[in-house]
Amino acid sequence: MTTPFFDFSPASMATLAAADVTRALAEDVGPGDLTAALIDPARHTRARILAREAAVVCGAPWVEATLRQVAPTATWTWLVKEGETCAADQVVLALEGPAQALLTAERTALNFLQLLSAVASRTALHVQAVAGTGTHIVDTRKTLPGLRLAQKYAVRIGGGTNHRIGLYDAVLIKENHIAAAGGVTAVLQRAQALAPQARFIEIEVETLAQLDEALDAGARMVLLDNMDLPTLQEAVRRNAARGDKKAVLEISGGVTLQGLRTLAETGVDRISIGGLTKDVKATDYSMRFQDL
């Protein structure tokens, strides 16, 4: 039986967003918003969310979940849709509803929007850098605790590809696993026997000799870790020589945006980058109210 991959359908994302928002509101609002209580509950207002910088807009399910939970009578219109690029100072969302509730919802909605837009925008930059090479940009498990699925969704919105979701759905054999299990061949055989439900089994290699051993042992996905350019080129050549028994090759380690295209032009299939989700700088959004 194969372990199911997470379902990133709109319905599943709405369910995920609702759960994330519930936790976020408990953290931020707690038993009540003391400051918003200063506003007359009957006061109605219009508001706009605008981007202070160009970005790939991402996070609509979380913004909408926040509004549904805090301001259920509010209405809204997205002026820049999920996955589209906005310009600096462009209004991305127009809102109308109770002023008190919108004020309470403001920070939670913006927190999700700014984080997920940042991930999508950073991913899009990397995807653009390798356009036309056939190489996929892939995320990692270096995510914010509790927000992994949200960030992996944002990677998708930015045009990237998801790696494994967690330790439970795929096997990634690294240096310490190889050492503890007794070598490349031994650990691959053990993985193939013990984890038939895994979506994939991938093994990390650091040398061409390890690559050859992995391919001889039937590896179908290989992570080339911290190899220099000539070694990467030779690895791709050796793998291609295997014909229909070749593996999917992935690069990881020391990857920068500036050197990304050169790496992609070696002919590797995937480049995984922890910085897509780990080192993001939040996109600058603000909410502006009218008729208060």
Residue 6 banded pLDDT, cuts 50, 70, 90: confident
pLDDT range class, residue 207, cuts 50, 70, 90: very high
pLDDT of 253: 84
Instruction: For residue 113, give Cα distances in angstroms to 108, 170, 216.
Output: 9, 29, 47
Tell me the average pLDDT across 208-218: 96
Selecting among 68, 142, 148, 238, the annotated active-site residue is: 142
Is 169 tagged catalytic?
no
Residues 6+ apart with CB under 8 A from 127: 137, 158, 159, 160
Would you tell me which CATH number, out of the four given (3.90.1170.20, 3.40.50.170, 3.30.70.260, 3.40.50.2000), belongs to the domain 10-127+280-290? 3.90.1170.20
Q: Are 21 and 147 in contact (CB under 8 A)?
A: no
Q: Which listed residue (84, 206, 212, 225) is catalytic? A: 225
Q: Which two tokens stand for residue 1?
A: 């039986």
For 115-146, write each residue's pLDDT tens digit: 999 999 999 999 999 999 999 999 999 999 99
Q: Kindly name the residue from 174, 242, 245, 288 that is annotated as catalytic.
A: 174
Average pLDDT over residues 17-26: 98
Q: Of residues 204, 250, 269, 270, which has the active-site annotation?
A: 204
Half-sphere exposure of 85 (CA within 13 A, CB side): 9
Q: Is 107 considered catalytic here?
A: yes
Using a cut of 0.85, tell me whether the model's pTM lies above it. Answer: yes
With bands split at pLDDT 50, 70 and 90, how would you rate the model's confidence at 1?
A: very low
pLDDT for 74-111, tens place per residue?
999 999 999 999 999 999 999 999 999 999 999 999 99
Average pLDDT over residues 167-196: 92
Tell me the CA distances in angstroms from 151 to 89, 112, 129, 158, 184, one per residue in order: 24, 10, 20, 11, 32
pLDDT of residue 292: 54
* Residue of 46, 107, 238, 261 marked active site: 107
The per-residue pLDDT of the chain, averaged, comes to: 95
Active-site annotation holds for 139:
no
Within 10 A of 239 (CB to CB), how many other CB atoms are there? 24
User: What distance, in Å, lies between the first and last C-alpha atoms of the chain?
Assistant: 58
Share of the chain above pLDDT 70, in %: 98
Give the β-pairing of 221-225 and 201-205.
parallel
Residue 152 designated active-site: no
Q: Is 225 a catalytic residue?
A: yes
Predicted confidence (pLDDT) per residue in 39-64, tens digit: 999 999 999 999 999 999 999 999 99
Contact between 143 and 280 (Cβ < 8 Å): no
Once rounded to an integer, what is the mean pLDDT over residues 165-173?
A: 94
What fold characterizes domain 133-278? TIM Barrel (3.20.20)
pLDDT band, very low/low/confident/very high, at 34 (cuts 50, 70, 90): very high
Query: How is the chain split into domains, by residue range?
Result: 10-127+280-290, 133-278
pLDDT digits (tens, 9 = 90+) for 231-272: 999 999 999 999 999 999 999 988 999 999 999 999 999 999
Q: Which amino acid is at 23?
A: R
DSSP bridge pairs for 49: 93, 287
Going by pLDDT thresholds of 50, 70 and 90, the confidence category of residue 5 is: low
